Structure 1
Amino acid sequence: MARIAVIGAGMGALAAAARLAVAGHRVVVYERTDTYGGALRRLERDGFCFDTGPGLLPLPAVYRDLFVKTGKEPLERCVELVQVDPSSRHVFADGTEVSLPNASRAGVVAALDEALGSGTGERWGDFLVRAREAWDRTRRPLLEEPLWPNWQVLAGREPYPAAPRKRLLRTRRAGTLAEVAAWELRDARLAALLESHAVRYGLDPRSTPASAAVLPYLEHAFGTWYVRGGLRELARAVYERCVARRVEFRFGAEVAGVREKDGRVSGVELADGTLAEADFVVAGVAPGTLDRLTAGTGVRGDGEVPPQPPAASRLTVLLALRGGRPAGTAHRTVVHTADREAELEALSGTAARDLRPTVTIMRPDDPALVPGPDHEAVALSAVVPALPGRPFEQHAEHMIDVAERAVPGLRDRILWHEVRTPAHIADATGAEGGAVPVPALAAAGGRLLHPSNSTRVPGLFAVGGWAHPGGGLPHAGMSGALVAGLIVEGPDFRGSQ
């Protein structure tokens, strides 16, 4: 039985802790805040409840596997999963609207043809076929296996296939997501639909590799799911699974440093000076924090993936509304920006004072979130630059104005609202500027890969969204599985089965 210290109680760290405890190790989690879940937090006020982090769960199989591997009680006995249908409603700049069925290619094709015109559905359906090919080529190395030592193969190879050009006896290979939209979709609204999956993570589709086609494919193939009571309930269930497997938690315990002895990790030092010995240390922290904990000794070593571009953050406006949720309301509505170029420039930081972003509206059909049937809890979110100290609150009014395009009379229903800025994300996760990590993507010279879970220091591992395989709830859960496999089975571990 090894002694394992886990730094942080984010979802990746919790997933690793549960798996390691089941393998017979003594696991202690040190969390600097007073609760678990990382970005999966909740705000409660006057009988209203809101998720302040992600609101939907793609690829729930990752957490189903976690619960199967850590006990006999499956995930569905611990939380109630609801498949959201429609998957999303989209309001485009020209006023066109479309609601996309969940996990139904035929349904999506028919909905697009009806709303956007004949032929649009077929083009989107053909795109999904190519996106599936990219997914099949990258699923194992980018999600289910430790980062390859020869990761440069992933960095240089574009897995998104070339598309045939009609009336010409040749194909054309897109290098970026914007090129996929322009060359293959050939409709501004389909382009907005595709590019929104990259913009959601603060990625500029003009430079994001075509391999990012896997992001919409992942939602299409595996569906979009809601956890009854909010995604905070998923964090609770994973935490309780850890406790049931005798993982110890020390909240309000900030780790000040990672200790080494004889060329190997030996434990952690807490901010109060306490030393906790450990045979392994699992760090679920942002890169800057890991550097500080290791005194800048370069734990990543030579040959690591290139530094990632600056990450973006999120601005969220929580609305307590009078009046119940109308029947047939979509859970998620995306109101696309009327000025794509301005949105992308703002994300790059070159025009950050004039934010006019795409706004996502979450309207869960969940009585547990409201004080009664005559009220509704709504969350608006937008991607913003991760700029420390920026007063993003001023943009909340614009987001409400945008949301009224999809929810007429919204302002008249507001009882109160609260704004959650990148500073709140930074407080919860420790990431500078409230930055949110993106999922690992192939091609692009490796700049969208994440550092490996193992480090230069024997016994020190990295877990969570800032390590392979990157950001997003499924990826964080998989990072926990990969770290547990590397510790339990050793460096010969070849990935999740």
Structure 2
Amino acid sequence: MIGAGMGAMAAAARLAVAGHRVAVFERTGTYGGGVRRFERDGFAFDTGPGLLSLPAVYRDLFIKTGKQPLEECVDLVQVDPAVRHVFADGTELTLPNASRAGVVEALDATLGAPAGERWGAFLNRARDAWDRSRRPLLEEPLWPDWKVLAERDPYPAVRKSGLLRRKPPTLADVTRRELAEPRLVALVESALLEHGLDPRTTPASAAVLPYMEQAFGTWYVRGGIRELARAVHERCLARRVEFSFGAEVVSVVEKDGRATGVELADGTRVEADHVVAGIDPVRLQRLTAHRLYGTDDVRPAEDTARDGARFTVLLALRGAREAGAVHRTVVHPADRKAELDALAVGPGAGLRPTVTVLRPGDPALVPDDGHESVVLSAVAPSKEVRDDATLTAAYADGLVTAAESAVPRLRERIMWRELPAGPPARCPHPALAGADGRFLYPSNTTRLPGLHVVGGSAHPGGGLPHSGMSGALVAGLIVEGPEFRGSQ
């Protein structure tokens, strides 16, 4: 196993239970991939995902790999209310967790009728898209005939003036036509921006993203999402998975046209019946002399310079979190078009993005009850925020300014702020149907027999749930062979 990310560990635990001896080689000093933690002066912060959707993925992992269910290994709680939205015009909208009726009621009360009715109709169509795409995009290995998924957007076609639209709509087309109300549109756009997606170029099938959140809820792990990574790692250890940290794989060993092991940076060669790589397929290609993907495959993106990256600011605050504070607040900018343009062409120093403010109110994250741990995040073009120190500082200031509308007396309470070390992490999106396959990911199998790919850069895409799903798919393909078609 190359890498100890969440997808790789999910595959490792399942393979170990199936009777395989599993060895994991991780070049860094710890497990979890992008699920990391920063600690200082008694404060602790999640520097990767701060919330969990679709916890059923990890419940299934723990059921299939041991006697202790997920809830006995971590303290998993629903976040309620799910989110508060603060719009540029000063409107504040608080939405309950996993309650369609409650969301409709909140929309009508805050935005006025027929906001709830419009939202409900939109979510009905999104549910249809979810039902049509769930199995092929989440629960099954990528179809050999993947172009069927690329050519057909599962979002239901809408008749206009008695005629079906011929051009496949983008999500921006759909929301402009079906929601109309700018603040309703902003709800959808913010859900896409969480994944670095531009609704103007994203297929209508991306409507499944806000649908998933409303249908399945938002969850938090007490102690931080890093606790989920710890629990998965401990489950792997309990199943006798072997971990080697600080062990960089420099090549995939091949023999007779098949992957037969890995070579480490110190020259050690480790033989294997199967090699599972939890790394970017582009990087993986450099570790082998074999062509991993052909012209008829979904191929990994070579140029990620314009990919959105998660830009994070960690705040240590003096003073306790006020009563009734909401765990997650999304602060919307006045000019969403400028924000979306910046993702495509690069931002200016004065750009104000959509900012997510996480205030867990978790005693495990602070030195005492007289302090608060807060995480601010936004999506920015990765190249600029990585290469320009002045822009990085300006961007951080912009996030703090936006967060002032979510956290009372924010600036006077700041003791210190930190930016996680290293370049901002990419925020790969889940696989989406339509758009000629531009939003699909490479298959978990490669053209080199015995070599599989797992994690957020392979099918079914990015995010904690999808990484866990990729682990289940890879384990199934190895245990049952190419005929594996997913869980039933």
Shorter-chain TM-score above 0.5: yes
Structure 1 residue aligned with 2:418: 418
Q: How does 1:46-445 map to 2 (within 5 A)?
A: 46-163=41-158, 175-295=169-289, 297-308=290-301, 310=304, 311-351=307-347, 353-387=349-383, 388-391=386-389, 392-420=392-420, 423-425=422-424, 434-445=425-436
Contact 2:440 2:459 in 1 (8 A): yes
Structure 2 residue aligned with 1:428: none
Structure 1 residue aligned with 2:484: 493
The 1-side partners of 2:45 and 2:299 are apart by: 37
The 2-side partners of 1:90 and 1:301 are apart by: 44
User: Helix, strand or coil for the counterpart of 1:7?
Assistant: coil
Alignment deviations for residues 144-167 of structure 1 (CA, whole Å, 9 cap, x no partner): 0000000000001011113466xx
Opposite residue 326 of structure 1, the aligned amino acid is E
The 1-side partners of 2:300 and 2:197 are apart by: 15
TM-score of the pair, normalised by structure 1: 0.94
Opposite residue 442 of structure 1, the aligned amino acid is A
Contact 2:429 2:462 in 1 (8 A): yes
The 2-side partners of 1:119 and 1:305 are apart by: 42
> How far apart are 1:43 and its partner, in Å?
0.7
Alignment pair present for 1:453 and 2:439: no
> How far apart are 1:458 and its partner, in Å?
0.5
Opposite residue 387 of structure 2, the aligned amino acid is G
Alignment deviations for residues 189-229 of structure 1 (CA, whole Å, 9 cap, x no partner): 01111111111111111010000000001111111000010
The 1-side partners of 2:76 and 2:159 are apart by: 40
Contact 1:301 1:455 in 2 (8 A): no
> How far apart are 1:424 and its partner, in Å?
4.3
The 2-side partners of 1:14 and 1:350 are apart by: 35
Contact 2:26 2:245 in 1 (8 A): yes
Contact 1:440 1:470 in 2 (8 A): yes
Alignment pair present for 1:469 and 2:456: no
Opposite residue 19 of structure 1, the aligned amino acid is R
TM-score of the pair, normalised by structure 2: 0.96
The 1-side partners of 2:141 and 2:132 are apart by: 16
> How far apart are 1:394 and its partner, in Å?
3.0
The 2-side partners of 1:405 and 1:159 are apart by: 38
Q: Unaligned stretches of 5+ in structure 1?
A: 1-5, 426-433
User: Helix, strand or coil for the counterpart of 1:420?
Assistant: coil
Contact 2:38 2:46 in 1 (8 A): yes
The 1-side partners of 2:446 and 2:212 are apart by: 29
The 2-side partners of 1:113 and 1:316 are apart by: 33
Contact 2:291 2:448 in 1 (8 A): no
**Structure 1 consecutive aligned stretches of length 4 or more whose deviation exceeds 4 Å:** 168-174, 306-309
Alignment deviations for residues 281-318 of structure 1 (CA, whole Å, 9 cap, x no partner): 000001331121114x3212331115547421111111
Opposite residue 390 of structure 1, the aligned amino acid is D
The 1-side partners of 2:142 and 2:467 are apart by: 14
Contact 2:105 2:116 in 1 (8 A): yes
Calculate the aligned-residue CA RMSD, in Å. Answer: 1.5
Contact 2:293 2:299 in 1 (8 A): no
The 1-side partners of 2:162 and 2:326 are apart by: 43
Change (3 A) 1:306 1:461: closer
User: Helix, strand or coil for the counterpart of 1:40?
Assistant: coil
The correspondence for 2:28, drawn from 20, 28, 33, is 33
Moved more, 434-443 or 275-284: 434-443
The 1-side partners of 2:487 and 2:430 are apart by: 18
Opposite residue 74 of structure 2, the aligned amino acid is V
User: Helix, strand or coil for the counterpart of 1:57?
Assistant: coil
The 1-side partners of 2:446 and 2:281 are apart by: 12
> How far apart are 1:169 and its partner, in Å?
5.4
